[in-house]
Structures are given as structure tokens and as C-alpha cells.
Structure 1
Amino acid sequence: MPKAFDFNNHELINLQVYRFLRNEIISCSIAPGSVLSEKEISLYIGVSRQLIREAFIKLAEAGLVQILPQRGTFVRRISAKRVAEARYIRQVIECAVVRRACACITDEQVLSLEHNLRRQALAADNDKFREFFDLDDSYHQALADIAECQLAWKTIESIKSTMDRVRYLSLSVVSPPRDLIAEHYHIFDGLKKRDADAAEQALRRHLGHMILSIDPIAAQNPDWFEG
């Protein structure tokens, strides 16, 4: 775990605790298979055990931990099957979103997306993987905002936690940020031209490439995967 945890005054503490633990699991700073101690984490972060217990429940709902009565709470190992299913559902939703976004995107929104892409490039150039990861999410969330379908992104967020672990692990070796940025630009080009077919095809290729990263990551970290 990191050396310190700083709360901010702009968000509920329980959400900050959940996001902190989620990020630690997704980045595999807390490795798959690890036992999570409610007492130790509450002392480390400096919050009540009740808040940690609530975070564990939310993490279980996201498919990141397993709570076994009388035995403890464990970080789930990565399921390749669950990753594939989540990617398929995400692709179905996002392809519909990007087509709708092409029909209503404004010039101002085009500029906003381009600004995000430039920030992605800057983060990649400085090996700031966490920042790049967050900007990647912001880019995809922006598509739902442009399409005026925020519920689509909320649905994606509810199923993508397992995908996110594979995405994060693949950044340095299998799917370098520069490659992902190039794919983001292909989607952007379709949006800028208001070409729904081109944008959808680019998005399909982009999301499809993630599946190819599972086997190399599993080969490097076999203990982190189910089966």
C-alpha cells in the first residue's frame, strides 16, 4: 500500500475509502488472492472499521473481492471469462453510444476530446500510468456525455472493474499507452467527421485488442488468475 492516504473535503469519506481500495486492487498493489484485514486497513487509513466494512461490500459487488463468513475477505483472482463477458457488454453499449455521439457532437466537444488526447500523450511521455489510466476513462466517459446517455457509462462502470485490472497490468508491456492513444485518435477522427461507421469500427478494434492482452499477462502472473 502507499505510504499515506490524504482525504479531501470535496467528497464523502466512504467514497474516498472505496476508491482508494479499488485503485489499489486494480493496479495490483494489493495482489489477487490477498487477504484484506478490516482492522489493519482501518488503522492504516485512520477511519472506522464500519467504513472499511462498507467498502468491502461495494468491492464485492464490483467483483473485486470475496467475503467469506468466518474466514475473511479475499481479493478475487482475475477471471478471464468474466473479463471477456464484461468487454462484450461494454462493446455493445459503447458502439451504440459512439454512433449517437456522432450525430450530436459539437465543435466545442470535439476540441474537448482533442484536449484530453493531448493530456493522454503528455502522461504517456512521462510514464504516468495512473494519470493516463484516468484520462483514458475520462475519454470514454465523455462519449456517453456527448451522446447525452450518462446511464450508459454508469452501466459500464458497474461491470468493468475486472477489465480494469487487465488494462492496468497491460499498460507497460502488452498495450503501451502510445498504441492506445493512436486507437483513441482513430475513434476521434470518426467523431470529428461525424462518420458513425468509422467511429464504431475504430471503437470495436480498440476494445477488441484488450482481449489479446489477457494471455501474456496471465503467463507473467499465473497466480493472479483463476484456473
Structure 2
Amino acid sequence: MKTFVIGDIHGGLKAIPQVFKKANVSEEDTLIFLGDYVDGWSESAQVIQYLIELAKNQRCIFIKGNHDIWCEDWLRTGKGEPVWLAHGGEETRQSYDSFSEKEKQEHLAFFQQTKPYYIDAKNRLFIHAGFTSMHGVEKETFKLNYHFDRTLWETALATDKNLPKDSALYPERFTHYSEIYIGHTPTIRYNSLEPMNAINVWNIDTGAAFTGPLTIMDIDTKEFWQSDPVKSLYPEEKGRN
């Protein structure tokens, strides 16, 4: 039994079976998804349907991303926020054209059941974006930070990797967890198509919404596998470029 973490998918359904095959994922494995399942490529609704079916046969943990919040709101109210529609939401809305109202309600239930974060038995934290509380994720007062914060990653990048964890200069919010896994901020912003590590934080969002691949990582060995650049799987589309 292995545990894998999967980065932001953004409607790129074709990339999922690619990475599962490369990583030799079996039904005995645990899959932890870091959120942002929708918005970008044309198969957002199909991604959600795929994940619903996948979870029937193996253990899956679904974290909620900021794009998932927007899609959930639309499925619940029928009203799409302008910021959502401008950042992949219109493509997501179109992907639902062939789905029945019953299916949309099933997808709404999926989003409602996603987790703000997950902490495993080895004190590893999985969260879409981040948190700001120096006392840990459980003490966060502004809960939207779970889905939108970038300061966790920025602070990790700016922290000297050789700084001892017991140093007074070591950022306290990183001391509560053995490791932290995030998505949300594409590594392609830092000219990397691969997962990035800064102190005890692993960023698994390798830019599948834009020009990068989808990534899956074995959290114990840190071995990772990647799809083709997702834009190459949807050559007639622009994604979120």
C-alpha cells in the first residue's frame, strides 16, 4: 500500500490516467488530491465524475481548492462569480452542458464533502494553499486562507533551508507538521516543471492549468511521475494561458 499526492488538475482529465499508469497506482493505494479539479481545460465536469467513480473503489482524500469553491457556488446558486468566469469558470460551465440536473447535484455533493485540509498519522499536512496562524492550521481564523493563501509558500521559499528548526528565526507555523504538501501556486512561476521543496513544504502544482504537466508523488519516497504537458493533450484549447 502506497500513498500518493496529486497536484492541481484544472479540467485536464486526460492527464489523470497517464500519471496513474506511470506511477503504477493500484486500488490498494491511498490518493490525496490537493484541489482545483476544475477551471482551465474543457473537461472539468468529466474530471469530477471520474473522481466520484474512482472513490468508489479505493481510498481517496479530496482537498478543496479556490476554484472548487467558485464551482460549488455556481452549482448551488446558478450564479457564476465574474472572477470565476474570467479564470476558467466559463469553460467549466460549458463542460456541464451535457450533464443532467441530478448529476450536477451529485457533483455539488462532491464539492461539499471535500476537506479544507488533512493531517495524516505521521503529522503530514495536506492543504490546497496555506494558512497564516503561527499556532497551526487548526487555529486559523480566516478560513479562506486554506484555499487562497500564498504566504506559506513564499515564506518557505525565503527561509534558509539550513536554519535549525529550533532556531528563534525559524517561522513557527512550519514547526507544527513534519511535512506540508500544497498546490495553488504553480511551480512554473519559478521556472520549474517539477515539484519544488522549500524547508518542509512540498509544492505539487506543476502548472497543469497552463503549460506544465500534472504531477503525482509517492509521499514516502518522494519519487514522482508526470503527464505530458496538459496543453499538448488539448491542442485545440488555450487553457488558462
- The TM-score with structure 1 as length reference comes to 0.29
Question: Quick check: which one's strand share is greater?
Answer: 2
- The TM-score with structure 2 as length reference comes to 0.28
Question: Quick check: which one's helix share is greater?
Answer: 1
**Greater C-alpha Rg:** 1
